[in-house]
Chain A
C-alpha cells in the first residue's frame, strides 16, 4: 500500500509540474487530469473511496472536459518561448512562492514535527456516512451552496443568451 502511495504521489507531482511547464494548452489540461486522477488514487489509499470516485466524476470527468473542449474550440496553439511573460509576474511571483512554501513548511512542522507520523483520525468515509453528514449536520451550508450554483447557472444563461 505504501509503495502505491509513493508511486502516485510522484505521478501527481510530476504531472502538476507538467501543467505549469507545458507550452501547449491541451497538454497542460491533460496533465491536470492526470494530477486529479492520481489524487483520486491517493484518496482511495487513505480509505475514502467515495471521495475518490466523486473526485474523478466531478473534476476529471466533468469540469476538465469543459476545459479541454474550450481549449480545443479556441484552438489555442503552441505558446512561444517566454512570449508574454509579464514583468509583474517576474518580480512578485518568486517572493509569493517563497512565502507559500515557508508557510506550508511551518504548518507541516507544527503539526507533525520530526516524527512524521501523520495519523489520520478514524473517520467513517462510507457514502452513507457522508450523506448523513451532508443532509443532517450540514444541511444549511449544502443548500446555500446549491442556491449559489443555481445563481451562477442563471447568470451564465443570461450572459450567453443575447435575448431571452
Chain B
C-alpha cells in the first residue's frame, strides 16, 4: 500500500468526504420529498405516491428523470446571465453550509484521525449565517431576472422576509453562544456532553442547551421556518396571490434546483438546531469501536429526522400567514423576544459568575 504524506492524505480525505456527503445529502433530499408527500397525504387521509415502486419508493427517481427530460422554457425577455445564475447560486448557498456541520465524533484509520465533518472552522456558526445571508440573492435575482410581474413581487417579498427573519434567527442563538463562549459547532456540542448533575429529579436529562435556552430555541426554530420559506411562512410562494413566487418562470431542471435548495436549507437549519440545542450527535454510545463510531452519527440523523418530520407536520397542520401579519410577527414580537432572551441570559450569567 502506498503511503501518503499528511497533505495528500488530507486532500484525498476531504474530497472523499465531500463526495460522500453530497451523495448522501442529495439522496436524503430526494427521499425527503417522498416523505413529505407521504406524511401530508396521511394527515389528509390519502395514500400519497403509491404506484412507482413499493409504497411509491421510486417516486423521487421518477420525478428526477421527469425534471431532466422536460423542456426547458425561459422567458424571451429574461436577463440572459442572471436568469441562469440564480438557481446555481441557490444550490451553492444551500449546500455550502453543510461543510462546517459536524455529524459525529472522529475515528482513526491507518494512523490518521478522521473527523466526521468536512471542516472544523472556529467560526463555524458565523460561516453558516454568512452563507444563509447570501442565499437571499438567489431569490431576489430569480425574481428580477425573469422579467415578469409575479416573480418580481414574489422575489421582493421573499427577500424582505428572509432579511427580517435572519435578525431573529441570529438573536435566537446568541443565548447559546453566550453560554458556550465559542463559535465552533464541534466545541458547542462537546460542552453538552453528560447529564445534569445535582438537578434532583431532572438529573436523568441530558445536558442539552435546550433546557437552558428554551426561549432561544423557540425563537430560532420559528425564524428558521420563515427563513426557509416554509408553511406557515411560505408567503413567497403564496399560490393564490403570486402563482409560485420567485420561481414562477423557471421550468424543468432549473426549477428542480430551486426545489432541492429549499430542502437542503431545511436540512441545514435543522442540523444547526440539533447541534446548538439538542446535543448534536451525543447519545448513549456503547459496544465495540465501530459501533461507537456509527452510533453518534445515528443519533444525529435521528434528531435531524425529528426536525424534518416536524417541518412536514407543521405544513400539514397550519394555514398560511397574511403578509402584514408575517412582518408584524417578525419585527414586533420575535425580535423583542429575542432581545429579552439575551438580556435575561446575560443577567443570569453575570449573577452566577459574581
Contact = CB atoms under 8 A, between A and B. Distances in A.
A65 B123 contact: no
Contacts of B82: 26-27, 30
A27 B145 CA distance: 11
Interface string B107-141: 00000000000000111001101110110110011
Chain A interface extent, by class: 20 to 34
Chain B interface extent, by class: 20 to 34
Contacts of A54: 126
Contacts of B136: 61, 65
Contact of A50 (B79, B123, B152): B123
A57 B156 contact: no
Interface string A86-124: 000000000000000000000000000000000000000
B123 A69 contact: no
Interface of B is mostly: helix
Nearest to B130: A56
A72 B144 contact: yes
B123 A62 contact: no
Nearest to B122: A49
A73 B123 contact: no
B159 A60 contact: no
A61 B129 CA distance: 9
B137 A65 contact: yes
B197 interface: no
B301 to A, nearest CB: 28
Nearest to A61: B133
A57 B152 contact: no
Interface string A32-46: 010001001000000
Contacts of A146: none
Counting chain B CB atoms within 10 Å of each CB, the highest count among A37, A49, A57, A128 belongs to A57
A72 B134 contact: no
A127 B183 contact: yes
Counting chain B CB atoms within 10 Å of each CB, the highest count among A49, A56, A61 belongs to A61
A141 B156 CA distance: 36
A40 B127 CA distance: 11
B81 interface: yes
Contacts of B43: none
A62 B163 contact: yes
B221 to A, nearest CB: 21
Contacts of B137: 33, 65, 68
A148 B82 CA distance: 37
Contacts of A61: 130, 133-134, 136
A11 interface: no
B140 A57 contact: no
A16 interface: no
A69 B163 CA distance: 12
A26 B152 CA distance: 14
A60 B156 contact: no
Interface string B157-173: 00100010000000000
Nearest to B143: A72
Nearest to A73: B156
Contacts of A49: 121-123, 126
A44 B141 CA distance: 27
Nearest to A37: B134
Contacts of B121: 49
A30 B81 CA distance: 11
Nearest to B144: A72
A57 B127 CA distance: 9
Given A49-B126, A50-B123, A56-B134, 8 more contacts: A27-B82, A53-B130, A57-B133, A60-B133, A61-B130, A65-B136, A65-B163, A127-B183
13 contacts: A26-B79, A37-B134, A49-B122, A50-B126, A54-B126, A56-B130, A56-B134, A57-B129, A60-B134, A61-B130, A69-B156, A72-B155, A127-B126
- Top 10 nearest A-B pairs (CB, nearest first) are A61-B133, A53-B126, A56-B130, A72-B144, A49-B123, A57-B130, A53-B130, A53-B123, A65-B136, A57-B133
Interface of B: 79, 81-82, 85, 121-123, 126-127, 129-131, 133-134, 136-137, 140-141, 143-144, 152, 155-156, 159, 163, 181, 183
